[in-house]
Structure 1
Amino acid sequence: MKKINACMVMGFFLFLFGLNVNAQSILQPKSIAPYPVEITYFKTTNIIFPSAIVGVDRGSKDVLAQKAIGAANILQLKAARDSFPETNLTVITADGKLNSFVINYDPKPSVLNISMKERDNKNSIFLSPGSVNEAEVTTYATHALYSKYKGRKVKHRKYGIRFGLNGIFIRDNLMYLRLTITNTSNISYDIDQLRFFIRDQKKAKRTASQEIEITPVHIQNKVTKIDGRSSQALVVAVPKFTIPDKKYFAIQLFEANGGRHIELSVKNRTIIKAVVLPTLQINRKYTYQ
């Protein structure tokens, strides 16, 4: 009997030890090993990602970086000067992944084209909608922002916040949504999120609903705060779309550290009345940012 009890006690302590080890392994932060990249002054290095690039941070101004014209998932790199000290580069892609690089200068890089292809992902180029570059999107978004056209308005007012869609424009494969946020209260409104969905209309509780999130290509006059007793307008560029039957387009505005959340419900008859933007002169100069 004593041997059985001893075995039970020992087994209990081993179980606790195992839980402790598992907990430590779960809490242990995972490091992301940086990828080494060599760049030079006279040649361009191309990095191909499996998803569109949404953010780039350079550790030094010695590195020149830009997204390739017409390709949302290719980053082009050059050196701003000879023999700069080692630095780093961080790239965030639309699939939610953070990519880290250590950048060094080399007059003759051994590799000029780098594929960040992951397992089970095809190494293909993701074209921006309509294969437009950033200059084109910015130009047309600015035109839509200041256009005198007043289309069919969709608006909602709650908690002293007026949120409205007062213009839908289209050019090639992009739609430009002009939004206005007016704060009639004395408390500033800090924007946490601005999201876009195609959703099913209300159904019975037992019926599964589906939604498709639409990711903006560009936001012109992006704001993060609406002061009290003030108003701001912005334009959001998204891939063109229409809404199937029994669905609607939802635009959600969320307040940071607050509860003043507002949603606009846009019907298809409003979207199909989008106004075509005129052809504008675009500065296509190839520059590094």
Structure 2
Amino acid sequence: MKKINVMLMVCAVLITIGAFAQQSSKNSLSEITPDSLSIGYSKTTNIVFPYAIKSVDRGSADILVQKAKGLENIIQIKAAKMDFIPTNLTVVTADGKLYSFLLRYDEQNANLNLSMNTTEPFEQNVLFSVGIGNEQELQLYSKLALYDKSKIEGGKESRYGLKLHLNGIFIQNDIMYYRIVVANHSKIKYDVDQFRFFIRDSKKVKRTSSQEIEISPLYILNNYETIDEESENTFVFAVTKFTIPEKKYLVLQLMEKNGGRHLVIQVKNKKLVQVSVLPKL
């Protein structure tokens, strides 16, 4: 009787081990292949991610890593010493995705500017540091605003073979989305220095300065730095909801880098009432 019980126990153990081995084979790990990245000592490598960076881990103190100042989805990397031993870098973004990089030293052929937005490689998006809102929502609603057929009239300026046109204002979840088209009909490419939003007094009283209230965007879709000759780009700026006080107006100002082809649009409250509500996601 004792022999039978021992044999039964042995069989049970073997069955359990077999089941565990089978379950383990089903749940086997799959390796994430790291991207190879060359960095230098005297050059900075910039990497743009589609969502905000939540965690960064460097494999060695021989490399320097930081977030770009005021931005949530760009990191800057450079070597802390020349000819360092190859190491790794791990980045986790707000959408829960893990990025792995194998870093090697190569001063002459260092990678300089990279985008991890592999699904839409032609978009360059910048995510500013914000205390509210969700990064993914800002991106998705910006895209809805980009393709929405609703338009507003007016709000444009044309000079120097360039055209600056505010052709859509949208809102959802207390965030406003300004769709702005920049068309370059000239033979000279346009390098964007800055795109400013600010509220200004309608009239400047003598001996007093005109007060300007700067409005910082939460997110910019299609944030291209250059508008090529005979081409155009449509930006979408996401900003916290606001209205314009009496005797003031909103200024949209486009400044050219190392040039004088500056364009300005003035927007009053009557234009804001044309705002379109984006459908909820």
Shorter-chain TM range is 0.5 to 0.7
TM-score (norm 1): 0.57
Q: How does 1:138-217 map to 2 (within 5 A)?
A: 138-217=139-218
2:55 corresponds to = 77
Q: Deviations over 1:194-250 (max 9, x none)?
A: 011011113233232211101111110111111222111110111110000000000
Residues 207, 160 of structure 1: alpha-carbon distance in 2 compared, 3 angstrom cutoff? same
Quick one: which amino acid aligns to residue 198 of structure 1? Answer: I
2:65 corresponds to = 89
Count of residues in correspondence between the two structures? 188
Residues 228, 279 of structure 1: alpha-carbon distance in 2 compared, 3 angstrom cutoff? same
1:34 corresponds to = none
Give the Å deviation of 1:132. Answer: 2.0
Give the Å deviation of 1:272. Answer: 2.7
Whole-Å separation in 2 of the counterparts to 1:60 and 1:197: 29
Give the Å deviation of 1:89. Answer: 2.3
Whole-Å separation in 2 of the counterparts to 1:158 and 1:60: 34
Whole-Å separation in 2 of the counterparts to 1:133 and 1:196: 22
Contact 1:199 / 1:211 at 8 angstroms: preserved in 2? yes
Which SS does the other structure have where 1:194 is aligned?
A: strand
Whole-Å separation in 2 of the counterparts to 1:242 and 1:256: 30
Give the Å deviation of 1:92. Answer: 4.5
Whole-Å separation in 2 of the counterparts to 1:60 and 1:250: 31
Whole-Å separation in 2 of the counterparts to 1:60 and 1:259: 29
**Identical-pair percentage:** 42
1:241 corresponds to = 242
Quick one: which amino acid aligns to residue 76 of structure 1? Answer: K
Structure 1 ranges of 4+ moved more than 6 A: 58-61, 102-105
Moved more, 230-239 or 243-252: 230-239
Residues 277, 257 of structure 1: alpha-carbon distance in 2 compared, 3 angstrom cutoff? same
Residues 176, 60 of structure 1: alpha-carbon distance in 2 compared, 3 angstrom cutoff? closer
Contact 1:59 / 1:88 at 8 angstroms: preserved in 2? no
TM-score (norm 2): 0.59
Whole-Å separation in 2 of the counterparts to 1:227 and 1:60: 22
Q: Tell me if 1:268 matches 2:243.
A: no
Whole-Å separation in 2 of the counterparts to 1:227 and 1:187: 7
Whole-Å separation in 1 of the counterparts to 2:198 and 2:173: 21
Residues 89, 78 of structure 1: alpha-carbon distance in 2 compared, 3 angstrom cutoff? closer
2:227 corresponds to = 226
Q: Deviations over 1:20-39 (max 9, x none)?
A: xxxxxxxxxxxxxxxxxxxx
User: Structure 1: 5+ residue runs without aligned partners?
Assistant: 1-57, 68-74, 106-126, 281-289
Give the Å deviation of 1:93. Answer: 4.4
Which SS does the other structure have where 1:253 is aligned?
A: strand
Larger radius of gyration: 2
Residues 79, 256 of structure 1: alpha-carbon distance in 2 compared, 3 angstrom cutoff? closer
Whole-Å separation in 2 of the counterparts to 1:134 and 1:153: 31
